[in-house]
Structure 1
């Protein structure tokens, strides 16, 4: 028998063919300019210095023409620089680290569940199954009012949690950046479940004695993606207010959101949500460019609220017994997938290299004209970003995005470890993830970060940041005293 032919697909190393294609397409302008520049150099060498000097002397310059040309160049340059959007810098940020006294290990959580629910063993068993598969660890924290048996949150309890998490993160941020409260020109806070009167932005202004002409905004009811909505709002305001600082606070006050009923779809938030807050300082001042950690490149927002199913998939309402809670639909992941698809379709052309955009376009044309059964090409976003911060809403959310975006375990490591260490901290989870990457020493100058978050409504929002400088571990980071223990292995099921 003649020897079998070799397996060319494995011997040729097709991945190198793809790498060559990507390099060629992404640097096509360079490859086109090289022969043009080479031709110009050869022609200049052929003419010689005497001929070049003779041609230069033969040119006649009129003073009026020179002045008009100079004026035109100055005018065009002035218009260009004045109309160009201002750079938005992330000077620094700070995340709240809960005190040890607020820890809610599994044993404590389940013991309280048994004491609160009494004979209703179905609720206890359901919460146990959720915790076993949640991806949460033993160090997540709940506010003091939720530790009561049974919890009876009051307005005073809610305000106490808000003051603890918000003031702590702002204090740390002011200490790191060295700015004074009166230097802040714009104040934005987002919190979905707690919206008191006066607002929490008024609470911050009162605490820090901020200026009377500060522009303050209090966003509520916008879910876990509200943090990026706040960033988008701050960006728009900083574009029209020069030389300004914007303080953005992202948090979720979970004291008022505790659900004491037995509806399964409403019990999930009890098991997943934990304490958290982040304070972010943005600036449009050029002098802050040297010390800022990041520069904001893009913000893309997708809203699916026109669809009834998407609108109601995260919905606050009363259960049949009249107990208020937040209901999570079984179709949540499907709706989130649709929102993500719309979002990445918009952000793709802004961030993907030309090679990926061409492959996507060719596949799309092929499916339309030749064979609809062709597998759609999923762009390789790993070429556009070095780091990914996926909202730590739950293990299923992270798993689904890792699968759909074809990410490695290291790309989603920050999201999984944040969920394990701090739980779902809602809109602030993205900043705990970014802090994890920095604490690991992985953030280098020029690196690009993609933050992705989902929220009620239903919304999917993205932000792209570019790192200004190599970032070292921050002693004020919530990871500083435990980063050496991570990453940890998270089993599929933790038997309780």
Structure 2
């Protein structure tokens, strides 16, 4: 693993920063055109209203009937033409709002719970690993930030393990069917009302697809559009949201269902490569079902409105592309290898993503400080002027960080200078559920809603990392006050978690 200093590089003075700053402002001005058209249309309406009240329009009409057109009449016609053009442009450029009606995160039955000690014993009982490999996995597990109430499927906790396709399908169906059923019951939406369904699972993909599996189980309409995202890692949850957003711009009056999960059974690694053993220790059972809509009538009850999605992909870089890679080890055993450059690559992706996101969300004062710091460092030198890291807590009330591991959360906290309170929900999700891949950001948000509540107007930042290498952000704004105790967090003792984590 790379040194901590390499996790989030000095992006304030990096040449790549200018490219991503330009991209951020390009996105800002793209949406800003609409902001300029609104006051222009308003001013034209006021001008025409003034001409009408003073009687100029009536007089101009009489003059037009009796004489040649005057300058004032030409002005009036021009105003009407421009107003019509502005209104047409606003109509064509208008984007449909994307509402997050509700979501549900899966909580496995208590029989699936596995403590760290139990996990060590199960792995040893398989007799697939050397003593060195067992010690390595145990060491990683006990330093990972996971607690003793995470979940693993029976296919892995029963010895001998059942690593068949049938067992993997059973694991997926238990998670996905349960999450979708509870969500639809909660919202009152019928399966046949779903117009778009998107599933994402990086490593487990079947024929028929996972999205078709859900459609079949719930007997959805043949008109439902289904998509299945594969191989996109732990950030695929945000990618799925972005795909749903794009589809909802094309299909009015629709519901979109997003199901994010990962499969442990099919991706267990019984080999000896330490870079591949990491996934055995960190990943646990989890999944989320999310209901989105562009229906105006859903605005009143929906929890959030999607404001921005910023996606960063470093796949053109060989080191980034290969830092999370599915392959065989020297013995021909399939697994996912995590390279030593992973943390450094994640830092580069984060740097690019937040540099693009900043102009869209940060207040002008923070942007001004950041710009001034960049100029000062270029003029006076990087060694003489320390880099300025924007305060993202001025833009966001809540931050949901992907629970990739304790080290990931620690470094983001350190280098973005976030306080312990805003990081706590991410630590809690890691402690209670482990790394649940792309669904982790929803477990973090459910913790916030359960223990703190979200006020109307609060901004929520969901941040995910994944193979490729990708860093993706989704920004939501609360439509109403949300204080909801989620079943996933029933009985959770926050003080006990904090006490246990403080000992590590």
Q: TM-score, normalised by structure 1?
A: 0.85
The yes-or-no answer on 1:94 pairing with 2:89 is: no
Cα distance change of structure 1 residues 154 and 427 upon mapping to structure 2, 3 Å threshold: same
Gap regions ≥5 residues in structure 1: 1-54
* Match of residue 61, structure 1, among 41, 56, 60: 56
The yes-or-no answer on 1:434 pairing with 2:445 is: yes
Contact 2:156 2:265 in 1 (8 A): yes
In structure 2, how many angstroms separate the alpha carbons of the residues matched to 1:353 and 1:271?
Answer: 41
In structure 1, how many angstroms separate the alpha carbons of the residues matched to 2:198 and 2:53?
Answer: 64
Displacement of 1:118 in angstroms is 6.9
Which residue in 1 is equivalent to 2:403?
392
In structure 2, how many angstroms separate the alpha carbons of the residues matched to 1:157 and 1:130?
Answer: 27
In structure 1, how many angstroms separate the alpha carbons of the residues matched to 2:53 and 2:112?
Answer: 84
> Can you list the C-alpha shifts for 1:148-174, whole angstroms capped at 9, x where unaligned?
223231111011001000001001100
- Partner secondary structure for residue 375 of structure 2: helix
Gap regions ≥5 residues in structure 2: 1-49, 62-72
Aligned pairs for 1:22-421 within 5 A:
61-63=56-58, 64=61, 68=77, 69=79, 73=83, 76-117=86-127, 120-373=130-383, 374-421=385-432
In structure 1, how many angstroms separate the alpha carbons of the residues matched to 2:117 and 2:183?
Answer: 34
Cα distance change of structure 1 residues 159 and 355 upon mapping to structure 2, 3 Å threshold: same
Cα distance change of structure 1 residues 420 and 349 upon mapping to structure 2, 3 Å threshold: same
Q: Which one is further off, 483-492 or 220-229?
A: 483-492
Contact 2:51 2:57 in 1 (8 A): no
Cα distance change of structure 1 residues 58 and 353 upon mapping to structure 2, 3 Å threshold: closer
The yes-or-no answer on 1:489 pairing with 2:499 is: yes
Contact 1:278 1:431 in 2 (8 A): yes
> Can you list the C-alpha shifts for 1:351-379, whole angstroms capped at 9, x where unaligned?
00100111111111111123232211111
In structure 2, how many angstroms separate the alpha carbons of the residues matched to 1:123 and 1:57?
Answer: 84
The number of aligned residues is 439
- Partner secondary structure for residue 130 of structure 1: helix
Contact 1:387 1:448 in 2 (8 A): yes
In structure 2, how many angstroms separate the alpha carbons of the residues matched to 1:182 and 1:292?
Answer: 20
Displacement of 1:473 in angstroms is 1.7
In structure 2, how many angstroms separate the alpha carbons of the residues matched to 1:150 and 1:428?
Answer: 28
Cα distance change of structure 1 residues 341 and 99 upon mapping to structure 2, 3 Å threshold: same
Contact 2:242 2:309 in 1 (8 A): yes
Contact 1:343 1:461 in 2 (8 A): yes
In structure 2, how many angstroms separate the alpha carbons of the residues matched to 1:460 and 1:258?
Answer: 25
Displacement of 1:139 in angstroms is 0.3
Contact 1:304 1:311 in 2 (8 A): yes
In structure 1, how many angstroms separate the alpha carbons of the residues matched to 2:499 and 2:294?
Answer: 41
- Partner secondary structure for residue 244 of structure 2: helix
Contact 1:131 1:271 in 2 (8 A): yes
Cα distance change of structure 1 residues 270 and 57 upon mapping to structure 2, 3 Å threshold: closer
Q: Which structure is higher in RCO with an 8 Å CA cutoff and minimum separation 6? A: 2
Q: Which one is further off, 139-148 or 55-64?
A: 55-64
Contact 2:128 2:270 in 1 (8 A): no
- Partner secondary structure for residue 454 of structure 1: strand
- Cα RMSD over matched residues? 2.1
Contact 1:298 1:465 in 2 (8 A): yes
Displacement of 1:78 in angstroms is 4.9
In structure 2, how many angstroms separate the alpha carbons of the residues matched to 1:58 and 1:425?
Answer: 64
Contact 2:104 2:179 in 1 (8 A): yes
